[in-house]
Structure 1
Amino acid sequence: MKRVNKLSINHLLESLRIVYRSSPKWTLINTIITIIRGCIPLLLLYVVKELIDVVTNHINTINNNPQHLYYIIGATALFFLLNAISGSVSSLVRERQSHFVNDYVQNIIHKKTINIDYKYFEDANYQDTFYRALNDANFRPARVFYGILQLAQNSLTLLLILIILSNIHWAMIPVLIISGAPIFYFRIAHTRKIYQYRKQHTEDERRVHYFNRLLTAKDFAKELRVFNLGETFKREYEYFKHDLRDKQWTLSKSKTLYEVAVQVLATIILLLIIGYVVQQTVEGHISSGSMAMYFLALQRAYAVLQGLLSSLSSLYEDNLFLQNFIEFNNISIEKSIANQLFPNPIKTTIEIKNVSFKYPNTNKWVLKNISLTIPKGKTVALVGRNGCGKTSLVKLLAGLHQPNEGQITVDNINWHHIASSEISKNISVIFQDFMLYNVSAANNIRFGNMRRKDENGIIQEAAQKAGIHELFSNLPEGFDTTLGTLFKGSQMLSRGEWQRTALARSFYNTDAQIIILDEPTSSLDAFTEAKLIAHFKEITRNKTAIIVSHRLSTIKLADIVVVMENSGIAEVGAPDELLKQRGVYFSMLESLK
């Protein structure tokens, strides 16, 4: 448990640094307002005490001057007004600072997700960390910030009130602290249990979230209806949800029982203190106004103490967010040694030399001892059964992963040593799970090369090559029409039309020397595919092309066919040569007939 305490303190200090760095000016303003708000309750107690004493003297004195009474009434009204105004201003200032805090945290998250290695997104061990850190990012920073402010304000108020109560007897301070200690202990103990519970059941929470998506997200809506899966998914959702809630309910019941017991103890202690104050008043040691002040101080101290304990336990609970956010933020962005330029133009070949690769935290080799030469300007087709490693090889060539063994070179320059910006400039890729961007048709194409200035002529040319120009031209706002279904006035495309859009995005990057197309015609109709094939040589002129495909019409475009099997390469050669060998490639084509 000591480790948890240490972590909590370090993480709370880190949260303070985040708050301050988000906006030093608003942090200072908030601090000043917090100090003022912390002192106001003490001033209110004092003016109430003075008001009661003055009124008592006014009643008991025959010849009196009401002017002092008016001053006290005015001061009382002024402090009540100051309390109300400062509360409103405090809420406004906190809201303003929370915007800066949230923006700061979102910037951290965005910077991290943009720059960390792609391997993290395919590593199951990091999914829980991502989930816990990202799921709470929209509200936890502000909540931590408010908790720290409330803790500071309550601490200051409680300190000042305890100083007042110590005038009755020095023992008031330790007695009140003792009355609150059991509550604090049990809340911290409960928070530790909650922390461990959430850490252990993050995967279960993700599973509940997943089944909720199956029931509500558009991506699953068609099969949900066609296969009548609604009730099945609903049962799974309810099962896992209720399992989690039952465990949470058990923890909450335990917490409540303990708190009731310690609250009874705290109430008994409070009654003993009140009895002592009444006795001191009866014996004439303190005035009626002082007694009222002490009663109000006791009530206020008890309320502030409860608030202080709630703030502490809430901040302790926020360790769940803080630890996982900091763990997420501490994911190292490896300083790349990749600073070499991509050869421009490529002079000879791309060499894949004894490359082996497996995904993070798995023991299965998806590529094993692959060697391949891709000559400059040639079109290479990667073929083979599903799961043989074609897409994994594409990811290596796109720079998303590094080989576990071996290396990839271009003109004898190690791929790993080439800057990522150079790779994205010289390689254009369309993946089989291409993205559908709900932006304008023009921007859907322009995303293929954001280094290029907005050149509508090249956008139009890319659309022509992909066979999508006529469709976009006839949209309500032409190429400025928003695609998809998310926003008003958008135009939905068919799967084949989206694939042609992705192809246009790839063709827009005219700087690219290498084009990689992973199943580029899988969603195209025969007519559109034929048009694309007819223009393929023009599209790939002076470029090296790598195609992953199962379609015979696309494979025939290749100068070289690479047949992959069992995580390795079974055959390499020109299409006609491989057919004559009557080997694996021949058997594949025969099975397609």
Structure 2
Amino acid sequence: MKPSNKLTLNHLLETLHLVYRSSPKWTFINAIITSIRGFIPLLLLFVVKQLIDVVGTHVTNNTASPEALYTTLALTAAFFLLNAVSGSISSLVRERQSHFVNDYIQDIIHKKTIHIAYRFFEDSDYQNIFYRALNDSSYRPARIFYSLLQLAQNTLTIILLLIVLSQIHWALIPILAVSSAPVFYLRILYTRRLYKYRKNHTEDERRVHYFNRLLTGKDFAKELRVFNLGKTFKKEYEHFKHDLRNKQWSLSKRKTINEIAVQLFSTAILLFIIAFVIKQTVEGNISAGTMAMYFLALQRAYSVLQGLLGNLSSLYEDNLFLKNFFEFKNIEVKREVGTESFPNPIINHIKFENVSFKYPNSRKWALQNINLTIQKGKTIALVGENGSGKTTLVKLLCGLHEPTEGQLHVDQHNWNNISNSELANNISVIFQDFMLYNISAKENIRLGNTHRKDEPESVAAAAVSAGIDQLFNNLPHGYDTTLGTLFKDSQMLSRGEWQRTALARSFYNTDAQLIILDEPTSSLDAFTEASLINHFSDIVKDKTAIIVSHRLSTIKLADIIVVMKNASIAEVGSPEELIAQKGIYFQMIESLK
């Protein structure tokens, strides 16, 4: 469906509701201050008129009393002070409320990114939606609220000013409207073009940000230097950046040229009105103070009218761009309410029934017709070439994806009806691309099961199983030492030490019934790997384990070998059975000798 460019009332109301929920108190205060400031311009006009008339009478006829002069002067000063003070307070209140609005928006984004299905993170279309939502949500909701407040203030002010100007001639009102209409039309037209431009070039903008990350991010710094990639990435960055900038510059340049043309038209109309007021003064129809008041009213009315039309065009623009945020906000979150529990303990088995899977926006099957039964308490090794589907199968077991076809069961329970929290409590996993958390060693391990009590002996036991206990004890602050390089007094670890930390995190979840280890020894030295193998039987005791590995020493830990090839299962059996068959597994073992 083609996206609508209309200013929808639903989006405006939803935005207002969102701003109000962020802080009802500050929303109310903001509305009161805005209303007060709507009356101030008119009051200032009458005070200035009174001041000029009093001064003029005193100079011409010397009849005005000093008290009247001083009173008018004091009143003028008071209103100018009120205008300045209310402006400062208004800015302070808006700044305060903007913090609440931004925090509220970030809370919505965080809750959504935490709970939406993992498949969205491997979908380029979602990445475009998320990128636009993140860019626009940081300021547009608050700006819509401010635009509506300013619209209300400007509407009140312009009505009062037009009443004043109508005293000269009623025709001034439609003339002012006509003078501002072309500018408003151009702004709306430009907003539509800008929205279309941003939507069509989101992926290009993401590409610019990606190359910027390659040039500045720590994760890429080593290869950037070793392979001398700085010039290459900088060239790509500049190419895509300049292409985007040139297109946007062309759009902005056309807008500016058109605006200058219509502003000339508006200025000519304004000069005509000024000439008419001067003529009325020269003919004695109005006083000098009244003329000054009309000039100020005219200038203010023109400025406020421009502001009012600017508010409308800004609302139109923000409404268009906030569709990105609401599109992201309305992404469905599944399996959070009314879901099943993980059977505890597993009675019989975990079963794949004709399971096939495709990644989002991909035509290629990552898994195809998988039929596999994993018996309780058994250790299964997944082996095969890179890209054969091993890690994808692990992702399905972790609940990160749902099968495109077929079903996955634990006993009689559909795997995809089990809640995320239940899966987290019953599955312990270390991924091949495990995370490096720049927090303390203790907290790194405790992330494996945040529901457990903070028991130092349990943390230490997990570290011992992973062969990292001695290292942590020797750190400057022991287990309380911050790991990584991001913060002061941190301790950097080698890749192998990070992997042992990730293993300890996995082993810390002693409540887990299913342990999944995806290439668990890829970064370990031979001594540490041997120590892990010696501890393995204790670690997986009474548990079901799945190992993904290319190392023969790790594969030998398995009771059952599952050989994968071309997204399907090629062989299943015990190590002895598969070797006797002299098939794919036999050839693999022979090649590793």
Q: Give the TM-score of the pair, scaled to structure 1.
A: 0.97
Q: Per-residue deviation at 1:112?
A: 1.0
- Given the superposition, is the C-alpha separation of residues 495 and 396 from structure 1 closer, same or farther in structure 2, using an over 3 Å criterion? same
Partner of 1:132: 132
Determine if contact 2:136/2:322 at 8 Å carries over to the other structure: no
- Which letter maps to 1:557? L
Q: Per-residue deviation at 1:577?
A: 1.6
Determine if contact 1:165/1:297 at 8 Å carries over to the other structure: yes
C-alpha separation in 2, matches of 1:497 and 1:141? 45
SS of residue in 1 equivalent to 2:204: helix
SS of residue in 2 equivalent to 1:520: coil
Q: Per-residue deviation at 1:462?
A: 0.4
SS of residue in 2 equivalent to 1:408: strand
Partner of 2:470: 470
C-alpha separation in 2, matches of 1:223 and 1:145? 47
Determine if contact 1:338/1:417 at 8 Å carries over to the other structure: no
Determine if contact 2:54/2:64 at 8 Å carries over to the other structure: no
- Given the superposition, is the C-alpha separation of residues 277 and 33 from structure 1 closer, same or farther in structure 2, using an over 3 Å criterion? same
With 542-551 and 143-152 compared, the bigger mean Cα shift is at 143-152
Partner of 1:293: 293
Deviations 1:210-236 (A, max 9, x none): 111111111111111111111111111
Partner of 2:109: 109
Partner of 2:511: 511
* 1:209 and 2:203 aligned: no
Partner of 2:307: 307
- Which letter maps to 1:452? R
Determine if contact 1:579/1:586 at 8 Å carries over to the other structure: yes
Determine if contact 2:513/2:544 at 8 Å carries over to the other structure: yes
Determine if contact 1:338/1:420 at 8 Å carries over to the other structure: no
Q: Per-residue deviation at 1:10?
A: 3.5
- Which letter maps to 2:322? L
Q: Per-residue deviation at 1:335?
A: 5.4
C-alpha separation in 1, matches of 2:226 and 2:153? 58
C-alpha separation in 2, matches of 1:139 and 1:487? 29
C-alpha separation in 2, matches of 1:338 and 1:266? 62
Partner of 1:14: 14
- Which letter maps to 1:540? V
* 1:93 and 2:93 aligned: yes
Determine if contact 2:335/2:420 at 8 Å carries over to the other structure: no
C-alpha separation in 1, matches of 2:434 and 2:352? 25
Q: Per-residue deviation at 1:7?
A: 4.3
- Which letter maps to 1:156? L
C-alpha separation in 2, matches of 1:379 and 1:564? 16
Partner of 1:430: 430
* 1:538 and 2:538 aligned: yes
C-alpha separation in 2, matches of 1:167 and 1:199? 48
Partner of 2:445: 445
Deviations 1:467-504 (A, max 9, x none): 11111111111111111111111111111111111100
With 404-413 and 482-491 compared, the bigger mean Cα shift is at 404-413
Map 1:106-505 → 2, pairs under 5 A = 106-334=106-334, 339-505=339-505
Deviations 1:485-537 (A, max 9, x none): 11111111111111111100110000001100011111111111111011111
Q: Per-residue deviation at 1:349?
A: 1.6
**5+ unaligned residues in a row in structure 1: which ranges?**
none
Q: Per-residue deviation at 1:9?
A: 4.2
C-alpha separation in 1, matches of 2:375 and 2:338? 24
C-alpha separation in 2, matches of 1:119 and 1:451? 26
Deviations 1:115-151 (A, max 9, x none): 1111111122211001111133333333333333333
Q: Per-residue deviation at 1:314?
A: 2.9
Determine if contact 1:154/1:305 at 8 Å carries over to the other structure: yes
SS of residue in 2 equivalent to 1:355: strand
- Which letter maps to 2:12? L
With 57-66 and 564-573 compared, the bigger mean Cα shift is at 57-66
C-alpha separation in 2, matches of 1:245 and 1:252? 10
SS of residue in 1 equivalent to 2:368: strand
Q: Per-residue deviation at 1:317?
A: 2.5
SS of residue in 1 equivalent to 2:355: strand
Determine if contact 2:466/2:532 at 8 Å carries over to the other structure: yes
Partner of 1:550: 550
- Which letter maps to 1:404? T
- Which letter maps to 1:77? A
Partner of 1:33: 33
Determine if contact 1:337/1:417 at 8 Å carries over to the other structure: no
Determine if contact 2:335/2:417 at 8 Å carries over to the other structure: no
Q: Per-residue deviation at 1:592?
A: 2.2
Q: Per-residue deviation at 1:366?
A: 1.1
With 502-511 and 362-371 compared, the bigger mean Cα shift is at 362-371
- Given the superposition, is the C-alpha separation of residues 493 and 358 from structure 1 closer, same or farther in structure 2, using an over 3 Å criterion? same
Deviations 1:375-409 (A, max 9, x none): 11111000000111101110111111111222122
With 106-115 and 263-272 compared, the bigger mean Cα shift is at 106-115
Partner of 2:526: 526
SS of residue in 2 equivalent to 1:580: helix
- Which letter maps to 2:160? L
Determine if contact 1:133/1:325 at 8 Å carries over to the other structure: yes
CA RMSD of superposed structures (Å): 1.6
- Given the superposition, is the C-alpha separation of residues 3 and 184 from structure 1 closer, same or farther in structure 2, using an over 3 Å criterion? farther
Determine if contact 1:281/1:288 at 8 Å carries over to the other structure: yes
Identity %, equivalent residues: 70
Q: Give the TM-score of the pair, scaled to structure 2.
A: 0.97
With 177-186 and 358-367 compared, the bigger mean Cα shift is at 358-367
With 251-260 and 418-427 compared, the bigger mean Cα shift is at 418-427
- Given the superposition, is the C-alpha separation of residues 284 and 293 from structure 1 closer, same or farther in structure 2, using an over 3 Å criterion? same
Determine if contact 1:215/1:233 at 8 Å carries over to the other structure: yes
SS of residue in 2 equivalent to 1:102: helix
Q: Per-residue deviation at 1:456?
A: 1.3
Determine if contact 1:165/1:294 at 8 Å carries over to the other structure: yes
SS of residue in 2 equivalent to 1:146: helix
Q: Per-residue deviation at 1:169?
A: 0.8
SS of residue in 2 equivalent to 1:535: helix
Q: Per-residue deviation at 1:336?
A: 5.5
C-alpha separation in 2, matches of 1:5 and 1:70? 56
**5+ unaligned residues in a row in structure 2: which ranges?**
none
- Which letter maps to 2:358? K
C-alpha separation in 1, matches of 2:8 and 2:489? 49
Q: Per-residue deviation at 1:356?
A: 1.2
Deviations 1:314-360 (A, max 9, x none): 33332353110011011112355763222222222211121111112
